Each structure stands twice: as C-alpha cells, then as structure tokens.
Amino acid sequence: MEPVATPGADPQFPMRGVAQPTRDEALALPGLHISRHPIIAAKLTTLRDENTTPAEFYTLVRELGALLAYEATADLATEPAPIRTPLEPMVGQRLVGGVGVLPILRAGLGMAEGFRQALPEAQVWHLGLRRDERTLRPVQYYNQLARAANLQVCFVVDPMLATGGSGIDALDLLEAKGVRRLRYLALIAAPYGLVALRRAHPNTPIYVAAVDERLDERGYICPGLGDAGDRQFNTL
Ligand code: PRP
Ligand code: URA
C-alpha cells in the first residue's frame, strides 16, 4: 500500500504494478459514508463530464461541497438556545462549539466555499499540499492553521482522495495540533486511498459522494474527473 515509486519503477507511472484493493473491499470499510442523494449524483455526473467548462465546474464543486456539508453535519451536537421571537419566548437550538473547515489547496477551495454556504460561521484554515507526480507523495507549501479554539469538529475537504497521501497528511497535522474530532470529506474516492486513510486514521468518519474503481498508472482516479485543481481554476 505504499504509494512511493519503488526503485527502478518508471516515475512517469508510479502506480504501475502496485496492488490495489477492490471497490467492494473499500465499500466494506467502517466509518465510510457514501451519499445516496440523487441531486448529488446528478451534479457529480455533470462535474465528471469532459465537456463541463471550468466556470461550471467551479460552481458545481461549490454546490456539491454545500450538499455534502449538510450530510456530514447531520449529527452535530446542539444545545438549548433561549430566544424571543417577535411573539413570545422560546427555546431553540444552537451548535455546541465552533466548526472548522480545512480545504487542501488548491482543489479543496471550492468545496470549502460550499461548506461556508451551509455554515457561514465556520472557521476556515488553509493547507497547501501539492502531489509530486513522480512519487505521488504530498509536498507541503503553505500552512495557515489557526488555534483550535473550542471546536466541536474540524472537516478536511478535498474533491479527490486518490492514494490518500494528502488527506492523511492533513489529518496528521490537525491531530498534532490537538484537534480531536475530525471528519474527512471528498467528492470522489479511490479504493486505494480509502483503505490507506482508514488504516492511518481508523476513527475518522469519511464522507464521499462516490467511490470509483481504481487508480490508473499515473495515480489518477478512474473513471474520476481528471485533475480537479486544473479544471476548477482553468489551468489545464
Ligand atoms: C490533488 C487533489 C488532492 C490530491 C489527491 O491535488 O486535490 O489534494 O491530488 O491525491 P492523493 O490522494 O494521491 O494525495 P494536487 O496535488 O493535484 O494539487 P492541486 O489541488 O493544486 O491541483
Ligand atoms: N488529483 C486529481 O485532481 N485527480 C485525480 O484523479 C487524482 C488526484
């Protein structure tokens, strides 16, 4: 399960010859939530389509980020909130503590924007990770992690979970900062990345819109959608 290119392996094809778990094995992982929402499925199909323009793509990533945020926050804890309506007092609910969102740059930015449509008061942290295409290992180039003040939970968001290296590094960093309750959100996940993430972070709930078949020899998710960062920011 090591995504690093092995000595002698072709660095152009770092996944060549690497064993991958099947989709069925990934579907059996504990703590994996796969959306069944038909609107998410329909938007994801348009997102994958090679004819979708970068502008439409970015809009869809934001929308899917918001919809997945609703699903992944459905069980957050609330506490009684006494208020007065214009007619009379009542006891409503408010979230216990704050909620953090950590987009993995660049591609996570659109999802984080969507997440903020669902929860505008979320605290947004940023982490820049670039995947080295020869080794498939993430390289950190930016890190703006705030103090973890009274957060109920922090969500790592990234459209693509391929080998899992970027997601695992992001969760490792948050754990090292003392953030206890973590969740991971992606639009499309490969079985390889799901198994790796589950192994590295056995107790972190994972929310995805779809689980795809496999990684190709360059480490791209198939059928996937191509490069999520380049399609979002028109840098293909
Ligand atoms: C993509 C994607 C993830 C990562 C997934 O980012 O957005 O962060 O690859 O791959 P992994 O699971 O194998 O780590 P990329 O490195 O292409 O950077 P970008 O978002 O700036 O395009
Ligand atoms: N990053 C992407 O943007 N797409 C993939 O398929 C894999 C990693």
Would 59 be classed as within a structural domain?
A: yes
Query: Does 228 sit in the ligand 1 pocket, CB within 6 Å?
Result: yes
Q: Are 215 and 221 in contact (CB under 8 A)?
A: yes
Residue from 58, 227, 230 to probe ligand 2 pocket by mutation (most atoms less than 8 Å from CB)? 227
Which CA distances in Å does 222 have to 75, 119, 155, 212, 218? 31, 32, 25, 6, 11
- We report the CATH number of the domain holding residue 114 as 3.40.50.2020
Would 160 be classed as within a structural domain?
A: yes
Domain count, the chain: 1
Would 89 be classed as within a structural domain?
A: no
Would 161 be classed as within a structural domain?
A: yes
Closest listed residue to residue 31, CA positions, set 189, 160, 217: 189
pLDDT reading at 225 higher than 90: yes
Which CA distances in Å does 120 have to 21, 88, 112, 113, 115? 38, 27, 10, 9, 8
- Return the residue matching tokens 């992944």: 72
Would 31 be classed as within a structural domain?
A: yes
Task: Tell me what pLDDT residue 145 has.
Answer: 87
Give the Å distance between the CA of 150 and the centre of ligand 2.
Answer: 33
Would 29 be classed as within a structural domain?
A: yes
Would 10 be classed as within a structural domain?
A: no
Q: pLDDT by residue (tens digit) across 41-66?
A: 999 999 999 999 999 999 999 999 99
Phi (first) and psi of residue 187, to 5 degrees: -85, -50
Phi (first) and psi of residue 114, to 5 degrees: -65, -40
pLDDT reading at 6 higher than 90: no
Query: Does 229 sit in the ligand 1 pocket, CB within 6 Å?
Result: yes
Give the Å distance between the CA of 131 and the centre of ligand 1.
Answer: 6
Query: Does 130 sit in the ligand 1 pocket, CB within 6 Å?
Result: yes
Task: Tell me what pLDDT residue 5 has.
Answer: 62
Task: Tell me what pLDDT residue 8 has.
Answer: 59
Would 123 be classed as within a structural domain?
A: yes
Both tokens assigned to 209: 């819109």
More confident of the two residues 150 and 210:
210
Task: Tell me what pLDDT residue 167 has.
Answer: 98
Q: pLDDT by residue (tens digit) across 123-149?
A: 999 999 999 999 999 999 999 988 767
- Per-residue confidence at 82, pLDDT binned at 50, 70, 90? very high
Task: Tell me what pLDDT residue 180 has.
Answer: 87
Rounded to two decimals, what is the model's pTM? 0.96
Sort 5 into a burial class: Cβ within 10 Å, 0-12 / 13-18 / 19+.
buried
* Rounded percentage of the chain residues whose pLDDT exceeds 70: 96
Average pLDDT over residues 175-197: 96
Print the domain residue range for 196. 23-73+94-129+138-217+224-233
